[in-house]
Structure 1
Amino acid sequence: LNNGLNLLEVSSFYQQIVKGGVILLAVLLDRRK
């Protein structure tokens, strides 16, 4: 995931947001079970 973001030249700030969003989404999906 990090490598893909670096290839797109995404700033570290947006990388943090993307990672946070992925983690948040995973938590929400896990709670639905």
Structure 2
Amino acid sequence: MGLHSFLANNQIQYESKDAVDFTGLYFLLLNYY
């Protein structure tokens, strides 16, 4: 499941603050591990 699928399944718009916050946290954790 990709980032697009997650956002679409949870009805989160790309340009919303929630999407930006989630994407930032997602890649932060991905880079950490």
TM-score by length of 2: 0.58
* Structure 2: distance between partners of 1:20 and 1:5: 17
Residue 3 of structure 1 is aligned with which of 1, 8, 22? Answer: 8
Which is bigger in relative contact order (C-alpha 8 A, separation at least 6)?
1
Moved over 3 A (4+): none
Gaps in structure 1 of 5+ consecutive residues: none
Gaps in structure 2 of 5+ consecutive residues: 1-5
Larger helix proportion, structure 1 or 2?
1
- Paired residues in the alignment total 27
**Structure of greater Rg:** 1
Q: Residue 12 of structure 1 aligns with which residue?
A: 16
TM-score by length of 1: 0.58
